[in-house]
Amino acid sequence: MTRVSLVCCLLLAGCAGYRLGPNLGANYRSVAVMMFRNRTYMPQLEAQVSNAIIKRFQSDGTLRIESAANADIILTGEITEYRRGELRSVRSQVDAPREYRLSIVAKVEARDRVTGKVVLAATHITGKADTFIGNDLQSAELQALPLIADDLARQVVTLIAERW
């Protein structure tokens, strides 16, 4: 009987450090995502990135989305780069691109609303997606932008909600 008790105690002790919810601390339950600043020439990028981060927090569930006046954490950011790099070219024409890797680089920072204490120091994050070019490069880019914004949002939420 003592062996069974010992095994049960060891199994339960193994889960002692496990927590549900955000790893930021008990103080943080909500976040406000401010509209990002767009330092690139690509229009409306700030709205896509900010909305993608809000949607990702909503689906993640670790932090509630609130207004800036009511949130525990204020997330701010700026989009610093929009890049397009050639991955492949057409076989018959080496100088004609067929596939691009598109990326958005953003600098994000999170602070405690009340104290102003830095929760997440300014960090550069890159969201990426690859796209094939048909007849229209602009249409291909516009279709890939939500994918890039979502990739960036996933990384931002992971940094904030699952911080150790």
- Render 58-71 in DSSP notation, one character per residue: HHH-SSEE--TTT-
Choose between 119 and 164: higher pLDDT. 119
Q: Is the pLDDT of residue 25 over 90?
A: no
Q: Residue 22's pLDDT is what?
A: 46
For the stretch 115-124, pLDDT in tens is 999 999 999 9
- Residue linked to tokens 């929009």: 82
**Rounded Cα distance, 91 and 105, in Å:** 31
For 92-136, where are the alpha helices, taking DSSP H only? Answer: none
Closest to 127 (Cα-Cα) out of 79, 57, 75, 76: 79
Average pLDDT over residues 28-51: 96
The 10s digit of each residue's pLDDT in 85-131 is 887 666 666 566 668 889 999 999 999 999 999 999 999 999 999 88
164 pLDDT tier (thresholds 50, 70, 90) = very low
pLDDT exceeds cutoff 90 at 141 = no
Beta-bridge partner residues of 73: 31, 112
Altogether, the residues listed in the chain come to a count of 164
End-to-end CA distance of the chain: 39
Model-wide pTM > 0.75: yes
pLDDT over 90, % of the chain: 61
Q: How many CB atoms lie within 10 A of CB 158?
A: 13
Q: What is the pLDDT of residue 21?
A: 46
* Residue 142's pLDDT band (cuts 50, 70, 90): confident
Q: Does domain 22-161 bear CATH number 3.30.160.150? A: yes
